[in-house]
Amino acid sequence: MKLAIWLVPFFLAIAPAAQTQAINDTYTVQGATPEREAVVRRQIQAMQPLVLPYRIRFVPHWQYLYAAKVYRLHVPTGMGSKMFTHLPTRSVFVDEDRYDGEGWLGHWLAHELGHLATNSASEEDAERAALEYRKRLQKLSTSSSAEKKTLVGSR
Ligand SMILES: [Zn+2]
C-alpha cells in the first residue's frame, strides 16, 4: 500500500503533458546520470526526429513494469522490452536495469521516436521510421570517430 501511495505523485506528474498541446521544442530527461542525459540529447539532436518526446524517463525495472501496468501496456517479460512510449503524453520510459551502452540507447531510442513520429503503436511503423533515424545516428558516430582521428593525428 505504501508503495502505491508513493507512486501516485510519480505518475500524476506526467498528466499535464496530455493537456499541453502547444508546440514544444524542449523535453526533459529524468532519472539519468548527467553523462547519460548528455548522450540522449546528442543522439536526439543527430536523429532530428519529426516529433520530440515530452519527457524521457529512466526508471528501475520494477518501476518500469509498474508504469507499463498503469498505462495498460503489454510488456513482454523476456528480453524484448527495454523502452516503451506512452503516446498520449509523449513519454518514453527506459528500463535503466537493461541499459547496455550508447549503441543500445541510440538503437532503441530511434525505435521509440519512430512510434512518436508515426503516432502509431505498431512495431512495424516504428521500425520503418527508426531506419532513417539510425542512419543519421551512424553519421554521428562516424563523424565523432573522424574527429578523434584528427586529434590524434595533430599531436
Ligand atoms: Zn515498439
Q: Quick: pLDDT tens for 108-131.
A: 999 999 999 999 999 999 999 999
Domain that holds residue 69: 34-136
Residue 151 lies in a domain: no
Residue 76 lies in a domain: yes
The CA 122 to ligand 1 mean position distance, Å, reads: 7
C-alpha–C-alpha distance, residues 116 and 130, integer Å:
10
Residue 98 lies in a domain: yes
Task: Give the model's pLDDT for residue 63.
Answer: 93
Core vs surface per residue 121-134: b (16+ CB within 10 A) or e: eeeeebeebbebbb
Q: How many CB atoms lie within 10 A of CB 4?
A: 8
The CA 22 to ligand 1 mean position distance, Å, reads: 25
> What's the pTM?
0.75
Q: Are 49 and 117 in contact (CB under 8 A)?
A: yes
Task: Give the model's pLDDT for residue 60.
Answer: 95
Residue 18 lies in a domain: no
Number of domains in the chain: 1
The CA 64 to ligand 1 mean position distance, Å, reads: 15
Residue 152 lies in a domain: no
Q: And the C-alpha cell for 85?
A: 512510449
The CA 124 to ligand 1 mean position distance, Å, reads: 8
C-alpha–C-alpha distance, residues 31 and 26, integer Å:
17
C-alpha–C-alpha distance, residues 124 and 61, integer Å:
25
